């Protein structure tokens, strides 16, 4: 499949350096199915190698949900081995989102529950409407987060808050999730789309090489600070020989916006 392919569960649009991925299952509250996981992995890899794309936005179709969670039929109809494989498939797909070389923004409107919240957790930045609702609700079903949620959430909000969110399986409003450090911004519905486009455009105009190396250093340092610092130092040196550095310095001295090319 290529980025131009027709996906069963996703809509993909590229414009102005922004790759927009929209979960297209509004009739199922944008529930995440095995097919969606496969297609998400494919499209992230395709966008990551598309020279015209400099930032990615994840969104849900309709006005009810970013994603209300996993398609439960995939869990109830499978064996224990099948469900463990599904967990690994989700970890791989969401891991591709996290390790995407470009900045990834989750644009959250409506319900963001279970696997949907796990997906948002793997983005670099999260913006939500004031009416968005969040929750890792798996414990209400006798399940647990299985697509990276037990590991990634605590790195965003801390261990105590992560355990509160997972163990209570409660719904949380957007203001609370911003206070917890999960959300970067909360906006009225009327301002939401414009702000998402504004932020994505700003990220797409950034220096691609520096952005990729910054993500790599930050992610590596989550588990090993010394290793992260070493990657930071090497990357800092590598950027010395890029055209983008010269462009950034020239733009600063000339009091204009830089035009980065990723070279």
Report the share of the chain in percent with pLDDT over 90. Answer: 91
Report the chain's mean pLDDT, rounded to a whole number. 95
Fold for the domain defined by 208-253: Lyase 2-enoyl-coa Hydratase; Chain  A, domain 2 (1.10.12)
Of 24-28, 73-77, 89-93, the poorest mean pLDDT is in 73-77
Mean pLDDT of 103-126: 98
pLDDT surpassing 50 at residue 251? yes
**pLDDT category of residue 3 using cuts at 50, 70 and 90:** low
pLDDT surpassing 80 at residue 113? yes
In the annotation, is 138 catalytic? yes
pLDDT surpassing 90 at residue 138? yes
Sorted by where each begins, the domain ranges of the chain are 10-204, 208-253
3 state DSSP class of 114 = coil
pLDDT surpassing 60 at residue 128? yes
3 state DSSP class of 242 = coil
3 state DSSP class of 202 = helix
Does the predicted TM-score (pTM) go above 0.85?
A: yes
**pLDDT category of residue 4 using cuts at 50, 70 and 90:** low
Q: Which of 15, 38, 118, 226 is catalytic?
A: 118
Asked if domains 10-204 and 208-253 share a fold, the reply is no
Contact criterion met (CB below 8 Å) for 55 and 103: yes
In the annotation, is 27 catalytic? no
187-217 pLDDT, tens digit each: 999 999 999 999 999 999 999 999 999 999 9
Mean pLDDT of 241-259: 94
pLDDT score recorded for residue 51: 86
**What is the chain written as a DSSP string?**
--TTS--SSEEEEEETTEEEEEE--GGGTT-B-HHHHHHHHHHHHHHHT-TT--EEEEEESTTTEEE--B-THHHHTS-HHHHHHHHHHHHHHHHHHHH-SS-EEEEE-SEEETHHHHHHHTSSEEEEETT-EEE--GGGGT----SSHHHHHHHHH-HHHHHHHHHH---EEHHHHHHTTS-SEEE-HHHHHHHHHHHHHHHHTS-HHHHHHHHHHHHHHHH-HHHHHHHHHHHHHHGGG-HHHHHHHHHHHTTS-------
pLDDT score recorded for residue 28: 93
Contacts of 141 (CB under 8 A, 6+ apart): 72
**pLDDT category of residue 1 using cuts at 50, 70 and 90:** very low
Contacts of 78 (CB under 8 A, 6+ apart): 86
pLDDT score recorded for residue 94: 97
Contact criterion met (CB below 8 Å) for 108 and 128: yes
21-68 pLDDT, tens digit each: 999 999 999 999 999 999 999 999 999 998 899 999 999 999 899 999
For 108, phi then psi, to 5°, come to -110, 115
Contact criterion met (CB below 8 Å) for 39 and 10: yes
Mean pLDDT of 114-121: 98
pLDDT surpassing 60 at residue 149? yes
What the block records as the tokens of 191 is 């301002």
Q: Which of 45, 138, 198, 254 is catalytic?
A: 138
- In eight-state DSSP terms, residue 67 is E
10-204, which class in CATH? alpha beta
């Amino acid at each position: 499949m290529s980025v131009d392919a027709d996906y069963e569960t996703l809509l993909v649009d590229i414009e102005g350096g922004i790759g927009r991925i929209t979960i297209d299952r509004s009739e199922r509250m944008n529930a995440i199915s095995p097919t969606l996981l496969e297609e998400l992995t494919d499209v992230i890899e395709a966008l990551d190698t598309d020279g015209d794309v400099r930032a990615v936005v994840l969104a849900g179709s309709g006005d009810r949900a970013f994603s209300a969670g996993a398609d439960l039929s995939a869990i109830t109809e499978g064996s224990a081995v099948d469900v463990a494989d599904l967990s690994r498939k989700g970890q791989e797909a969401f891991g591709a989102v996290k390790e995407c070389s470009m900045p990834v923004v989750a644009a959250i409107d409506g319900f963001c529950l279970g696997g949907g919240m796990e997906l948002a957790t793997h983005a670099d930045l999260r913006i939500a409407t004031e009416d968005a609702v969040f929750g890792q609700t798996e414990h209400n079903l006798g399940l647990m987060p299985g697509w990276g949620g037990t590991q990634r959430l605590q790195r965003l909000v801390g261990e105590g808050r992560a355990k509160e969110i997972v163990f209570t399986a409660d719904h949380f409003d957007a203001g609370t999730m911003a206070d917890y450090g999960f959300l970067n911004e909360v906006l009225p519905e009327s301002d939401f789309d414009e702000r998402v486009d504004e932020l994505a455009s700003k990220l797409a105009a950034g220096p691609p090489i520096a952005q990729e190396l910054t993500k790599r250093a930050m992610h590596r340092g989550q588990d090993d600070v010394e290793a992260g610092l070493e990657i930071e130092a090497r990357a800092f040196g590598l950027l010395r020989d890029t055209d983008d550095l010269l462009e950034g310095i020239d733009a600063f001295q000339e009091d204009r916006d830089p035009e980065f090319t990723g070279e």
